Amino acid sequence: MTNCAVIDAAQKEEDMCQETFALQAFVKFAANETAVASKTDNNATKIADIQLKASQAAAKLDTLTSNSTLQAACAAVMQKDICKFMDGLMKLIATANNQTKLDEITKGNTTKEDKIKAEATEAQTKLTEMQSNATLVSACNALKAQSDKGTTESATNSISSTNAKSAAIMLQLPGFASAVLSTMVVVAAGMFML
């Protein structure tokens, strides 16, 4: 029972971090008048709704960010999400470069295949940029080494990381992430259907 309480507390903390990241991304988006106008086709009613929701999000965000214990934990959650995102980029690139897998996923749909290849090219550019950050690569290698040890704690972290919605990535890579993540979802779904 004690282990369950620890796992539940860790999952709750990670969920709260993900909520913090999502709220930060939304508030940042809402503050960008050009992006909001574009997303809403300059519809005044929708813009007003976004501004109202952003105000509510900011209030909730203030509550979450005032929790110093939570904020200390969120740095590690963000690091884990970014490393997981890099792994996803590598898998997308590997899939796009493996014609057999690509054929199985796309079932001969050349439009889908071309889209995956184009997004894999973008993914390669972003991955190269991220891998040029020695501190980031070192931190990701340390996380991978920790999870490779097979400890209960690492297994628990991997499970909760896999289940988490990666809102941290939205903060780090706003435009790029949504396009690549959607492709990664399609590719992952195709791989699991095999």
Q: What is the pLDDT along the chain (194 residues), one digit of tens a residue?
A: 667 776 777 778 788 888 888 888 888 898 999 989 988 998 999 999 999 998 888 999 888 888 888 888 888 888 888 888 888 888 989 988 888 888 888 898 889 989 999 999 898 988 888 888 888 888 888 888 777 665 444 444 443 343 344 555 544 554 444 444 444 444 444 444 43
- DSSP secondary structure string, the chain? -HHHHHHHHHHHHHHHHHHHHHHHHHHHHHH-HHHHHHHTTT-HHHHHHHHHHHHHHHHHHHHHHT-HHHHHHHHHHHHHHHHHHHHHHHHHHHHHT-HHHHHHHHTT-HHHHHHHHHHHHHHHHHHHHHHT-HHHHHHHHHHHHHHHTT-HHHHHHHHHHHHS--HHHHHHSHHHHHHHHHHHHHHHHHHHH-
Classify burial at 80, counting beta carbons within 10 Å of its beta carbon; exposed 0-12, middle 13-18, buried 19 or more: buried
Q: Could you tell me the pTM of the whole model?
A: 0.60
